[in-house]
Amino acid sequence: MVRVVAISGMPGAGKGVFGQVAIEKGFIVRSMGDMIRAEVESRGLDGNPHVFGRIAQELRDKYGYGVLASRLVEIINNDLETTGMVVIEGIRGDAERDIFVEAWGDEFGVLAIDASVDARFQRILARGRAEDGDRATFEERDERECGWGLGLILEQANWRLSNEGEIKEFKDTIKAWLFSHCE
């Protein structure tokens, strides 16, 4: 049985929606993106789109591409003492996956969320996060995250969900997936 599932997808694919639904269903969710947002805040930096990307890349350059995963393992191990499953929102590379596989072996899996470029960009515009920016920034972010190994993670995921329709439909799909794999 899977005890730790990492949610992967390009920016705007629906990882955050998956995390919200998982929380509503009583699961613990740890967000890798929140770790970058916390780092930006702790440094007292302006939260513009280029800052988030720069900090994420700086951390990876300085500590390795698995830095965020390494920081999460102990936290999640503590979570697993009190819960049956933990969701990691936002795995972006094979270095992160390798750390998680080393920590949890067969009790770890990756779920990819697929969505078209246009659907993702419209969601990015609607959510209005500081790190999102305009279309050029969106495209730069896609390229940067693919450079971290995101494309490989998506290709090799254990499971896939499509997020092309309405949010209610996607939330129902998430609930069904959680019920069939985790409850």
- Please report the DSSP string for the chain in residue order: --SEEEEE-STTSSHHHHHHHHHHTT-EEEEHHHHHHHHHHHTT----HHHHHHHHHHHHHHH-TTHHHHHHHHHHHHHHTT-S-EEEE----HHHHHHHHHHHGGGEEEEEEE--HHHHHHHHHHH--TTT-SHHHHHHHHHHHHHTTHHHHHHH-SEEEE--S-HHHHHHHHHHHHHHHH-
Model confidence pLDDT, tens digit, residues 137-160 = 888 888 877 777 888 999 999 999
pLDDT in tens, 35-53: 888 888 888 887 676 788 7
Assign 131 a pLDDT band (cuts: 50, 70, 90).
low
Provide the domain limits for residue 35: 4-182
User: What pTM does this model have?
Assistant: 0.87
- The domain total for the chain is 1
- Per-residue pLDDT at 55 exceeds 90: no
37: domain CATH number is 3.40.50.300
